[in-house]
Amino acid sequence: MGAPVAPQRLARKAAESAVREPQDAEFLQRLGERVREARARRGMTRKLLARDSGVSERYLAQLEAGQGNTSILVLRQIGQALGLPLADLLRDEGEHSVELVLTQQFLKRLPQEKLAELRTQLIKDYGAAAADRRKRFALIGLRGAGKSTLGARLAAELGVPFIELDREIEADAGTSLHEVFLLHGQTGYRRYERRALERILERGTPCVIAAGGSIVSEPGTYDLLLSTCFTVWLKAAPEEHMHRVAAQGDYRPMAGNDAAMEDLRRILHGRAALYGQADRTVDTAGRTIEESLGNLRRAVLA
């Protein structure tokens, strides 16, 4: 048998453990919240995330509740010892360049309002020219905001093509969006979405684009949209989104989901800051199509 452990050492270990446990629980809670909010921004149910990730719904529920596998704590400890953020340990891609790492560290020190100013300046200096962006108007927002209806009307007034990004994806994939998700999952859909947007931009012709509601969840594709198009967020209350989709005869958002409205509110809340990056916001809540069209027209032609 080994030598007995001194009582003082046991007491010290117990004290250290008591300090760590609340911190560990806090960390797991934040991790669960980040996963839940990321899922909400993408409009994914837990069931869909389980299918695409190969992780059971039960485990995902535990993770989002802050009760995930504690082995993540070991990774955090290693990261802390190395002076590296946990995200760097889990990152799939290769090492970043020194310039990118230093730039990221600089940006992290800036207050939120300065980041917004800097991003606007970067788009001005390195994005598409303002006049070129004004050739393409992109409408973003959740389903039921009026992107298809108002986008088609605006395009007709301007005498330019109206393009629904989802229809371009279907044409590229040779099947419906439903089948794209079934066959390729979220990852496959994102690839088709990026290619479709790039193809539209390569044409270089003026147009009005209706983007999918979740495009804001894919940073690279959304940045491309913001940098090359004049974007407008068509905003509405969750109840109006739900009502308009149902009025079109599509009851899928509510099918078998008693918490549909709660999910919709969470998705809208999770994406609000991303939608807010658009050049203009047009609130369609409580307004007729003609009123909303007039507001949209003024927003893009101002």
C-alpha to C-alpha distances, 188 to 168, 193, 209, 248, nearest whole angstrom? 14, 9, 21, 27
Say whether pLDDT at 256 is over 60.
Answer: no
Given a contact cutoff of 8 angstroms between Cβ atoms, the answer to whether 273 and 40 are in contact is: no
Average pLDDT over residues 282-290: 91
- Exposure string over 219-246, b if 16+ CB within 10 A, otherwise e: eebbebbbbbbbbbbbbbebebbbebbe
For residues 182 and 184, what is the distance between their CA atoms, to the nearest angstrom? 6
Average pLDDT over residues 11-23: 52
Structure tokens at 94: 């290769």
CATH 3.40.50.300 domain extents, the chain? 108-301
Average pLDDT over residues 209-231: 91
**Share above pLDDT 90 across residues of the chain, in percent, rounded to a whole number:** 31
Residues in the chain: 302
Tokens 């004290």, located at residue: 15
Per-residue pLDDT tens digits for 62-107: 888 888 765 776 666 667 666 667 776 566 555 566 677 778 778 8
CATH 1.10.260.40 domain extents, the chain? 11-91
Q: What is the DSSP letter of 215?
A: G
Say whether pLDDT at 164 is over 80.
Answer: yes
- When pLDDT is cut at 50, 70 and 90, the band that residue 198 belongs to is very high
For residues 28 and 21, what is the distance between their CA atoms, to the nearest angstrom? 11
For residues 259 and 256, what is the distance between their CA atoms, to the nearest angstrom? 9
**Closest to 145 (Cα-Cα) out of 206, 194, 212, 200:** 212
Structure tokens at 70: 């504690």
Domain 108-301 matching CATH 3.60.15.10: the answer reads no
Per-residue pLDDT tens digits for 259-285: 677 878 888 888 888 899 899 999 998
Q: Give the chain's radius of gyration (CA, Å).
A: 23
pTM above 0.75, yes or no: no
Q: Which fold has domain 11-91?
A: 434 Repressor (Amino-terminal Domain) (1.10.260)
Asked which of 25-34, 160-169, 217-226 is least confident by mean pLDDT, the reply is 25-34
In the chain, the amino acid numbered 224 is L
Say whether pLDDT at 136 is over 60.
Answer: yes
Say whether pLDDT at 32 is over 50.
Answer: yes
Structure tokens at 157: 């007034």
Structure confidence at residue 24 (pLDDT) = 77
Average pLDDT over residues 168-194: 90
- When pLDDT is cut at 50, 70 and 90, the band that residue 255 belongs to is very low
